[in-house]
Each structure stands twice: as structure tokens, then as C-alpha cells.
Amino acid sequence: MNVLLVYPKLPDTFWSFTYALSFIGKKAAFPPLGLLTVAALLPEEWSKRLVDVNVNGLTDKDLQWADMVFVGGMAIQRQSAKQIIARCLAAKVTVVAGGPLFTSEPDDFGEVDHLVLDEAEQTLPAFLSDLREGLAKKIYRASGFCDLSTTPIPSWGLIKMKRYASMNIQFSRGCPFNCEFCNVTSLFGHRSRIKTPEQVTAELDRMYALGWRGSIFFVDDNFIGNRGYLKSHLLPALIEWRKTKKGCVFFTEASINLADDPELLEMMVTAGFDSVFIGIESPDEVSLTECHKTQNKNRDLLESVKIIHRAGLQVMGGFIVGFDSDRPSIFQRQIDFIQGSGIVTAMVGMLQAPPGTRLFDRLQRESRIINTFSGDNVDGTTNIIPQMGIDRLLVGYQSIMKQIYAPDNYYRRVRTLLKELRVPEINQPINLQRFLSFFRAAIRLGVLGKERLQYWRLLFWTLTRKPRQLSLAVTLSIYGHHYRKICELYILQAPGDAVLSRNRRG
């Protein structure tokens, strides 16, 4: 059996880092961890190839080779997934699909031969068994959640690591919280299910043996969902692993209550973590109550961010506007919070309702679901009717993005961060691409860029005040270039122009 695994195109978003990748000579930010894990679950005797459309084009020759194509992806990849499926069907190749997009919206993919949904560890064995008997069904669903101790090491040999900016790994699935707009719990549950430290270090060893020496993203829904186990088992194992492994640094996603545990913060930094994404959502307590973001309430959010910075972890923040309780003042409040916090990577989006969430169910009952969920926070649209009205929401959202990613404000946040951030003890080796990125940044940002004045001011300030943070200052400057490009192309245009531009790049 010749099996082709295909990962659809990701459109330009904040997380795609499209306009930053060329500085470091990479094709994509992250490899398709889900499909690499599925590949490891398939029979060893099968011939397998993987095409990541973000790195390589899908050719007719690829489809001619394949007996079966596995497609996986997220909602934001819908358009590309549809195109890939159409090509497979035209080539008369059997299509198997799974992952969050298909699990959340199976009725939209009736053309797919087999939908293997939910967690592959649960549903793929049944599909493979039926396939051997010639009795494969249309849809496979799971009644529960898998035991992650059975999850194999992803098939890293199917990709060329050097084409990616970062590798990724998963320690846990699930989140103990119940945010109304989040589909994590509907997909993976509330209980934090975990791999053993031996599994995690075996996966790290595999990446290291293949030559990886860069950043590694722990893609957990909430890395600190089981803090006790983290502190007693995984982090000590990672600290021990790093004693003989040099060059790799980690980053992850967590909840703001990380700031409440100094021991956990210290252990994460010692284990090699240098940054963390946190869903802050809103500085407004009423909005946090509305969306059931209880872990963010009754605290000084600015101080919590600063505590994490001072521990040595850079906070990347997620923010949302468009809650029912939001008032016109929320836009300036978000700007003030972001600027004051020193959160350089501020991912701000308009509220959307993913299928399967309590928010989607509530707004559907209120006849306020109007579009397909795009999964994209930079397409200038939302799939709901907001209480404040779509026009006011869009204008306010654009005002946030215009201000926080204006060069003056952006570079001011970088300085705020560098003043607060404890200098990490982690040092990544300077490889050729990192070395060249300094020169590319000097030309593109320091000579040709609109931000050249702010860029050189930051570098001189860093050299005199925080010389050990120079590499981070350049990296954040490159990220800022990407964020501004996304804003200019897809957010700050008129709504019609933004949609047209989005369709062209799809």
C-alpha cells in the first residue's frame, strides 16, 4: 500500500510567520505533527510519503504514486483541503480525512471516502482493521479519549527538518478550564491526559539524533494543566535531558495562573523554556465573566505578566474583542493594556464561534451565527453577529491593530519587554542562517524598511543597556515586520478588499 499524507496550505496569519521565514531561510514555521503521528500509527510495511503543501507543491506524480491519500488539518486550512480533496478524487485516489477541521464539520465533507475522526489513536485501528477485511466504513468516531501512553514517536524521517523554523512535540491533551469560545475541551476533554517523561525524552532524542538544535514548541492545550505531575516528573526529566543536549529551547501554551507558582516558573526556565503563549483575552472583568475565563479574573493581569517576564519567560498574548459585554471603550483599553504589559507578540482577534463550543450553541439558538467559521483572526470577518454591530467592531479592531503594530508603539513594547525580562541562561548556537538573518534584517529593516529609525534605535539601546538580549531584539524586530505586513494586507484594508486579498492567496 502506497500512502501519501498531505498537509493543506496555511494562509498568511500571525502564526504563519510568512514574512519572517525568509530572514532565516525557512519554508514553514512548524511541521504537521498530527500527520507525522498518524504516519507512525500506520502499518510498518506500508510505503509512506508526506507532502506539506506549505513546503512543497502537491504534484500529479505524487497522486499517481499513491493508493490512498490521508488529509489532515484545521479550520483555517479548509479552502486548501477542499482543493486537495478535489484533486485526489479527480485522480481517482481514495481519500481518508481526519483532524480538527473534519472532526468539527464532518457534514461538509461528504465527498471524502473515509472520515477517521476524533483522536487517531482511537479510531484509526478500527479503520485499518475494516480496511484489511474490505469493509471500511464512511465514518469512524470515538466514544472517549485515548491513553497518550500508547501514542508512538512521530515519523520525523518523512520531512526535511531544515525547512522548518521550529519542531513541535506534545506532552498532554485537554484543558481543565471551560472558556465558552474554545473548542479544545470539545475535541480533547477537560482532563489533562499526559505522556510519560520517557516518551517525551524519547521523542526529543529522536529529533536531536536527526540533527535538530533549534526551538521546539510544546503544543499542549495547556502545558500546566497537571502542575503536580509537571513538577514531579516531566520538568525534572527535561532538566536532566538538557545536561547532555545543547542548543534546543522550548516554548509552549499555558494559563495565566502560571504566575502564581514561582517554583513552576523557575523549573520551566531551568528546563529550557524561554517563552509562553497565554490567552489573556480581555482586561475587562465583565467580559472575562461572560466567556467563563475564570482563571483570569480577580487578579492584576499586568502584574501577572510582569511576574512571568521577570522569571525569564517571554509572554506572547492572545486577545479578543467582540464579547457581548464589550463597550466602545474596550478598544483603547486593549491598546493600553498591551502597551503597558510589554507583550510584543499580541495576537488580537475578533470573537468567533467555533462549531462544538458552548458559544456556538448559544449564538445559534439566538440566530446569531451567520458565516462558516474560518479559524482565521486576520481575515476581517467573524461568523457571529456581535452585540455592538459588525461595523463598529471592525473599525475598533482595526484601530487596535493599527496602533499596536505601528513602528513606534511596537518597538516601545520591545524595550519594555527587554527591561523586564530576566536574561535566560539558554544560548542557541549561531548557525549560518541565524548569522545571515542579522545581515538580512540590517538591509530589509534598517535600510529599506519604514521602521528603520526605530530599528536602529532599538539595536543601539540594546547594545548599551541589554547587550545579551541583542539576538532577541533582532528576532522581535523581524517578527514585527511580519505582523505589520499581515496588518497592512489583511486587516487595515476596507473589508471588501481584505476578503478579495484573502481569496487570492487561498
Domain that holds residue 313: 165-419
As beta bridge partners, residue 373 has: none
Q: How many CB atoms lie within 10 A of CB 277?
A: 19
DSSP letter for each residue of 368-379: -B-S-----TTS
Nearest Cα neighbor of 278 from 187, 369, 177 is 177
What's the Cα-to-Cα distance from 366 to each of 15, 18, 105, 391, rounded to whole Å? Answer: 32, 38, 20, 20
Residue in 87, 86, 76, 38 with CA at minimum distance from that of residue 54: 76
Q: What angle do CA 4, 220, 292 make, to 5 degrees?
A: 125
The three grid cell numbers given for residue 303, joined into one nine-digit string: 502584574
What pLDDT does 428 receive? 63
What's the pLDDT score for residue 503? 47
Residues 113 and 176 in one domain: no
User: What is the 3-class SS of 256-278, one letter each residue?
Assistant: HHHHHCHHHHHHHHHHCEEEEEE
Cα distance between residue 128 and residue 177, in whole Å:
34
Measured distance CA(346)–CA(401) in Å, rounded: 9
**Residue 280 φ then ψ, to 5°:** -85, -40
Residues 170-210: pLDDT tens digits?
Answer: 999 999 898 999 988 888 988 889 999 999 999 999 999 99
Return the pLDDT at 436. Answer: 86
pLDDT recorded at residue 186:
82
Amino acid identity for residue 344 in this structure? V
* Claim to verify: residue 113 and residue 19 sit in the same structural domain: yes
pLDDT, tens only, 127-138 = 999 999 999 999
Q: Look at residue 487 and tell me if it is in a domain.
A: no
Residue 106 has pLDDT above 70, yes or no: yes
Handedness of CA 289, 293, 299, 301 (dihedral sign): negative
Same-domain check for residues 188 and 252? yes
Q: What is the DSSP letter of 234?
A: I
DSSP H helices, 421-469, are: 432-444, 452-465
pLDDT of residue 375: 85
Q: Are 218 and 326 part of one and the same domain?
A: yes
Output the nine-digit C-alpha cell for 76: 483555517
In a domain, 354, yes or no: yes
Residue 319 sits in the same domain as residue 385: yes
Indicate whether 187 and 61 sit together in one domain: no
Query: What was the pLDDT predicted at 247?
Result: 87
Q: Is residue 410 part of a domain?
A: yes
Residue 466 domain flag? no
Residue 134 is which amino acid?
Answer: G
Same domain as 114, residue 54: yes
Phi, psi of 320 (to 5 degrees): -135, 140
Domain boundary among 374, 398, 419: 419
The cell for 506 is 487561498
DSSP notation for 16-78: T-HHHHGGGT-SBSS--HHHHHHHHHS-TTSEEEEEETTTSPPPHHHHHH-SEEEEE--GGGH
Q: How many helices (H) and strands (E) does the chain have?
A: 21, 14
> What is the Cβ-side half-sphere exposure of residue 232, based on CA atoms within 13 angstroms?
4
Domains in the chain, number: 2
Task: Say if residue 258 is in the same domain as residue 307.
Answer: yes
Alpha-carbon distance of 437 to 457, in angstroms, equals: 18
Contact 357, 177 (CB under 8 A): no
Q: Residue 139: helix, strand or coil by DSSP?
A: strand
Helices 301-311 + 262-271 axis angle, to 10: 40
344 part of a folded domain: yes
Place of cell 522548518: 164
The pLDDT tens digits of the residues spanning 212-252 come to 999 999 999 999 999 999 999 999 999 999 999 988 999 99
Q: Are 317 and 278 in contact (CB under 8 A)?
A: yes
Q: Which of 419, 448, 472 is the last residue of a domain?
A: 419
What does the chain come to in residues?
506
Residues 106 and 174 in one domain: no
Separation of first and last alpha carbons in the chain: 31
The mean pLDDT value of the chain amounts to: 94
Looking at the fold, whether 197 and 122 belong to one and the same domain comes out as no
Query: Given 419, 444, 464, which residue is the final one in a domain?
Result: 419
Whether residue 208 lies inside any domain: the answer is yes
204/320 same-domain check: yes
Phi-psi map region of 124: left, alpha, beta (phi>0 left; psi -120 to 50 alpha): alpha
pLDDT at 295: 94
3-state SS class at 354: coil
Q: What is the pLDDT of residue 138?
A: 98
CATH number at residue 223: 3.20.20.70
Do 23 and 69 form a contact (C-beta atoms < 8 A)? no
Contacts of residue 449, Cβ cutoff 8 Å, sequence gap at least 6: 455, 481
70-102: burial string, b at 16+ Cβ within 10 Å, e else: bbbbbbbbbbbbbebbebbeeeebbbbbbbbbb
- Report pTM: 0.94
Asked if residue 296 belongs to a domain, the reply is yes
Residue 433 lies in a domain: no
CATH code of the domain containing 40: 3.40.50.280
Per-residue model confidence (pLDDT) at position 331:
98
342: left (phi over 0), alpha (psi -120 to 50) or beta: left
Could you report the per-residue pLDDT of 449-485, keeping only the tens digit for each? 999 999 999 999 999 999 999 999 999 999 999 999 9
Domain co-membership, 79 together with 193: no
